[in-house]
């Protein structure tokens, strides 16, 4: 099934260039290019879009609230940040991932494929992990074994295994590499934290 993409970016050159790359991919179809988030919800509804690529600078300080409200109206929508300038990384937490202005065509294609695969796993706002489950997820993503996690958190190995089962059930991700990608995409860990 094709993913229907809306690109929200003020620069026509950037929006058209990105649309050209994405339209060249079999599983994506750019259904709209807009230069403002105004009336975005109506546009998502009319085009049946399930992927939004948006420049976070267009949302300003309303970033998290805007995307949270949009996510409630359109629960199947995934949001991807399009970074065209320097931005505080805390503004990127609501997004499933980031496309940067200097990404190559192949990198953008690779990222879009990752986003499409993770569409079935909800982003952090939709998955309600407990604080302890998040701690275990971060430890797993960093490559720690169950015994190491248990020792570090002063809990039993059985409790660690139970947390891991809950994480898998809630996220739908079974592999360690998948959980690592999930943690990276949801800004739970930084690339420099990985071994």
pLDDT of residue 118: 66
86-127 tens-digit pLDDT: 777 767 777 888 999 999 999 999 989 888 776 544 444 456
pLDDT of residue 64: 78
Answer whether 0.75 is exceeded by the pTM: no
Paired with 54 in beta bridges are 8, 81
pLDDT confidence band for 137 (50 / 70 / 90): very high
152 pLDDT more than 90? yes
Instruction: State the sign of the Cα–Cα–Cα–Cα dihedral 113, 114, 117, 123.
Output: negative
Nearest to 58 by CA among 83, 89, 75, 21: 83
Structural domains of the chain ordered from first start: 3-120 (3.40.50.2300), 131-193 (1.10.10.10)
Instruction: State the sign of the Cα–Cα–Cα–Cα dihedral 62, 65, 71, 74.
Output: negative
Rounded Cα–Cα distance for residues 60 and 188 (Å): 22
């Amino acid at each position: 099934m094709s993913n229907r993409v809306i690109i929200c970016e003020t620069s026509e050159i950037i929006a058209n260039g990105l649309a050209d790359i994405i339209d060249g991919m079999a599983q994506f179809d750019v259904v709209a290019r807009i230069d403002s988030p105004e009336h975005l919800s109506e546009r998502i509804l009319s085009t049946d879009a399930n992927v939004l690529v948006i420049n976070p600078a267009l949302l300003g300080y309303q970033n998290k609230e805007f995307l949270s409200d949009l996510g409630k109206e359109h629960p199947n929508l995934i949001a991807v940040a399009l970074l065209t300038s320097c931005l505080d990384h805390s503004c990127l937490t609501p997004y499933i991932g980031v496309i940067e202005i200097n990404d190559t065509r192949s990198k953008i294609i690779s990222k879009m494929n990752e986003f499409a695969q993770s569409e079935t796993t909800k982003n952090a706002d939709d998955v309600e992990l407990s604080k302890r489950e998040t701690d275990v997820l971060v430890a797993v993503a960093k490559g720690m074994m169950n015994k190491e996690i248990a020792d570090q958190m002063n809990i039993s190995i059985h409790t660690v295994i139970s947390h891991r089962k809950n994480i898998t059930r809630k996220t739908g991700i079974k592999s360690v590499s998948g959980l690592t990608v999930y943690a990276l995409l949801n800004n739970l860990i930084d690339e420099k934290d990985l071994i």
